[in-house]
Amino acid sequence: MATQASVDTADLAQSERRVSTPTTIAWVGLGILLLLGFVAFLDRQVVALMVRMIKTDLHIDDTKIGLLQGAAFGLVYPLFAVPLGYAADYYSRRWVIFFGVVLWSVCAMASGLADSYTPLLAARVGVGIGEAALGPAAFSLISDIFPRNRLATVMSIYATGSLLGASAALAIGGAVIHWAGHGLDVPQLGHLAAWQVAFIVTGARTRAEASAAWRDVFTFIRDHWAFLVCYQMGFSCMYLVAWASAAWLPSILERTYGWTILQIGATLGLFTAVVGMTGQLSNGLVVDRMFSRSIFDAHFRYYSIAALVACACGIAAPFAGSAWLYLVAIIPWKFVTNFGGVEGAALQVVTPSHLRGRVSAITGVIGSITGGTLGPSVVAFFTDHVFHNDAKVAWSMALTNAIFLPTAALLFWLGRKPMREAVRRANARIAAAA
């Protein structure tokens, strides 16, 4: 009698037969999407480097900065992600992405012209609307042109675009701010502060399957509710701590250790690129290796352990006596929290092609609200209302890790069985359609 493992391996092989080896066009398409992810995060992340200057010029506190970095994206996502996911399922995904890129580029440059908090917040909201078009369409395209047992690796490659964008925002933003000094006088625009110049510089640049009815989307959600709950809540907790660190790590190095903006930008740019990219690709490769061996809960199993490792490092980091020791302490944390490829693959391996745009958008909405919106604001809340001290921002970050990473680990552990069942359903569906 064949063992369950051999049966599962045969099922996985059969389910992948209809997907040919990725073509040159597929890899070129992946490269273009990677570049767009780079640009999106370059626009989004640069604000983290300019917290002190924006606070001083606009006379605002950490709570408003938290809203600027979190809610400006997270609160608009629910309004636009699902309609844009619908568009990705029904219309040309290339045009959906194109119009999104144009919108976020214009709004990113407009951020540099804001002279008060309200127009700056409005411009950042516009960036969020434009960027909401990229994720659902990109996930749908990638999942159509690559086999499922390579998705974690391929989506990790795609996610390195976001990672490199965040790194470039730190490096380029730091250099531009240093170059701009106390600001520049620009013809027709008057005097612009250094942070406004940085916004303008980083913002400047210049067919789908027949889709199913919405009732099929809701049927899919109902039939896979246990998997989706654990997936959504677990990765939302991961997103929360990742966004919190992205928003406040520059401020930790500045307030706690006295680093200059130029030091922070150059060092964090390199640190984010090297450690983050290594983690992103390694996480994807390990999970794909496990999934190819018919460990169908590989994505959840891996992160039920990895989240606890990240938690331990995040709690220990504030005890570091220097900025360099702090960065060394969070290397494992940074490695683990670059999980975008694994997260994207976990959803796509169980979702039918014609539902991917909307399912990705719906899960993205919830992740954006809980992670992108709350992450920066939770740290700001702890700093302003628990520790009552701007210099304690590192401890606010540690407390955020202590609460949300163990929660993520528990959710992933509970979701292992539902994920195995969801993957087997997908295998059967694909084999029947072959």
Quick check: helix, strand or coil at residue 370? helix
Span 378-404, pLDDT tens digits: 999 999 999 999 899 999 999 999 999
Q: Is the pLDDT score of 88 beyond 80?
A: no
Predicted confidence (pLDDT) per residue in 190-201, tens digit? 555 555 555 555
Q: Is the pLDDT score of 186 beyond 60?
A: no
Q: How confident is the model at residue 113 (pLDDT cuts 50, 70, 90)?
A: confident
Residue 4 lies in a domain: no
Asked, for residue 5, whether it belongs to a domain, the answer is no
Looking at residue 221, which CATH number applies to its domain? 1.20.1250.20
Whether residue 89 is predicted with pLDDT greater than 90 in this model: the reply is no
> Is the sign of the CA dihedral 282, 341, 309, 311 positive or negative?
positive
pLDDT-derived band at 371, boundaries 50, 70, 90: confident
Whether 228 is covered by a domain: the verdict is yes
Q: How many CB atoms lie within 10 A of CB 266?
A: 16
For residue 237, the Cα-to-chain-centroid distance in whole angstroms is: 12
pLDDT at 424: 93
Nearest to 227 by CA among 421, 379, 5: 421
356 occurs within a structural domain? yes
pLDDT of residue 79: 74
Closest C-alpha among 261, 402, 419 to residue 347: 419
The structure's pTM equals 0.69
Mean pLDDT of 159-175: 67
pLDDT for res 317: 95
Tens of pLDDT, residue by residue over 261-309, are 889 888 988 898 899 889 999 999 999 999 999 999 999 999 999 999 9
Average pLDDT, the chain: 80
Tell whether 115 is covered by a domain: yes
Residues 300, 247: Cα–Cα separation, whole Å? 26
Half-sphere exposure of 314 (CA within 13 A, CB side): 29
The string of DSSP letters for 373-430 reads IHHHHHHHHIIIIII--GGGHHHHHHHHHHHHHHHHHHHHHHTHHHHHHHHHHHHHHH
**Number of structural domains in the chain:** 1
Query: Residue 9: inside a domain, yes or no?
Result: no
Stretch among 48-52, 55-59, 280-284, 295-299 having the lowest mean pLDDT: 48-52
Q: Which domain covers residue 245, as residue numbers?
A: 21-206+213-433
Predicted pLDDT of residue 83 = 83
- 113: in domain: yes
Tokens of 369: 């609200």
Is 6 domain-assigned? no
- What is the structure's pLDDT at 103? 84
Q: For the chain, give the percent of residues with pLDDT over 90.
A: 34
